[in-house]
Amino acid sequence: MDKEFLHFEKINRETWQNLHRKTTPPLSQTELNSIKSFNDRINLHDVRDVYLPLTNLIGIYKRSKEDLAFSKGIFLQKTSERQPFIIGVSGSVAVGKSTTSRLLQILLSRTFEGSSVELVTTDGFLYPNAVLKEQELLNRKGFPESYDMELLLHFLNQIKNNKSVEIPVYSHEIYDIVPDEKQTILPADFVIVEGINVFQNPQNDSLYMTDFFDFSIYVDAAVDDIESWYIDRFQKLLALAQNDPNNYYYRFTEQPLEEVLNMAHQVWESINLVNLQHYIQPTRNRADLILHKATNHEIDEIYLKR
């Protein structure tokens, strides 16, 4: 066994799906299609077999946290303040983190009736392209130094203390932070924080983002599979941009497809693969749960921290 997984329990899909009583998923295939990333594949069987047991497990962690807070309150002789249950979701570019996060948002809000669930992507904490260009970091976009980690940690601290906070908005269409636009995150029962960097904090060795998480998930897959999904997503982004000159990807639609795909492979090898191997994958064992995907996008193995 890989040393990295010594403190994880490996569970195959068949065993995992039997850990939760069979119930009907609280959403339709149409709803599922509307929230999944357009290069991802997921169906209601995946929701029932993988994500409903996961939602149940998160409920167990949440109750455990509340019991501990109550007991600590008695010990300290003061009333414990209500805090959100914060979930971190990490993994490579194009591995399906967004689908997992959006699906969890729906399942948590419908499983725990009356609960509010906020979803935040760390893309909004990237420095604007102008700043990255000025600092000669545009080719390092997505690497740890391209994020405003102080702002991200401030956000997490505000949310943890049940305060509403405004954060920047990122657009994949313009490939940049949207000027003068903010997303307001309100105090919630659950907050899902999704991004390639959510287990990292190289700018502050004394504090990690994971310090704020009550439960963390890493979405994993073989590197060759992720590269294939990345190229597939790139081609779909090109198709979407074909008639929109304002779209960042529009410029590539006017070039020969073979040339553009060669460029996409180079971007994968020189940027995304390097980021994955040096910065993202090494944080995998900080997760409480690893969801491993097979070539067909189906989750085939689950690793739960002991």
Query: Does residue 276 or residue 2 have the better pLDDT?
Result: 276
Q: Known binder of ligand: residue 195?
A: no
Residue 93 among known ligand-binding residues: yes
The predicted-structure confidence for 14-71, as pLDDT tens digits, reads as follows: 999 999 888 889 999 999 999 988 778 899 999 999 999 999 999 999 999 999 999 9
- Whether residue 59 is annotated as binding a ligand: the answer is no
pLDDT in the model for residue 202: 58
Whether residue 22 is annotated as binding a ligand: the answer is: no
Report the candidate in 32, 194, 28 with the shortest Cα–Cα distance to residue 118.
194
Q: Per-residue pLDDT tens for 241-265?
A: 999 999 999 999 999 999 999 999 9
- For residue 276, pLDDT over 90 is answered with yes
Please tell me whether 96 is known to bind a ligand: yes
Query: For 118-123, what is the mean pLDDT?
Result: 96
Give the integer Cα–Cα distance in Å for 44 and 59. 21
Q: Enumerate the domain spans of the chain.
A: 42-303
Strand pairing class (190-194; 85-91): parallel
Does position 75 have pLDDT exceeding 80, yes or no? yes
Confirm or deny that 97 is annotated as ligand binding: yes
Q: Are 167 and 173 in contact (CB under 8 A)?
A: no
Q: So what's the pLDDT on residue 205?
A: 60
Q: Taking residues 88-115, what's their average pLDDT?
A: 96
Instruction: Quote the radius of gyration of the chain (alpha carbons, Å).
Output: 20
pLDDT digits (tens, 9 = 90+) for 76-94: 999 878 899 999 999 999 9
CA 35 to chain centre: 14
Q: What was the pLDDT predicted at 203?
A: 58
**204 band by pLDDT with thresholds 50, 70 and 90:** low
How far apart are alpha carbons 76 and 155 in whole angstroms?
Answer: 27
What pLDDT shows up at residue 13?
A: 95
Q: What distances in angstroms separate CA 186 from CA 164, 167, 232, 285, one per listed residue?
A: 4, 11, 35, 30
pLDDT digits (tens, 9 = 90+) for 148-163: 999 999 999 999 999 9
**Is 241 annotated to bind ligand?**
no
% the chain with pLDDT above 70:
97
Mean pLDDT, rounded, of the chain: 93
Q: Is 178 annotated as a binding residue?
A: no
Q: How many CB atoms lie within 10 A of CB 296?
A: 8
Q: What would the mean pLDDT of 170-186 be, rounded to a whole number?
A: 95
> What's the token pair of residue 19?
């850990």
**Per-residue confidence band for 200, with pLDDT thresholds at 50, 70 and 90:** confident
For every residue of the chain, DSSP letters joined together read --GGGTTEEEEEHHHHHTTS-----SS-HHHHHHHS-TT----HHHIIIIIHHHHHHHHHHHHHHHHHHHHHHHHHTSPPPP--EEEEEEE-TTSSHHHHHHHHHHHHHHHSTT--EEEEEGGGGBPPHHHHHHTT-GGGTTSGGGB-HHHHHHHHHHHHTT--EEEEEEETTTTEEEEEEEEEEPP-SEEEEE-TTTT--TT-TT--GGGG-SEEEEEEE-HHHHHHHHHHHHHHHHHHHTT-TTSTTHHHHTS-HHHHHHHHHHHIIIIIHHHIIIIIGGGGGG-SEEEEE-TTS-EEEEEEE-
State the CATH architecture for 42-303.
Answer: 3-Layer(aba) Sandwich (3.40)
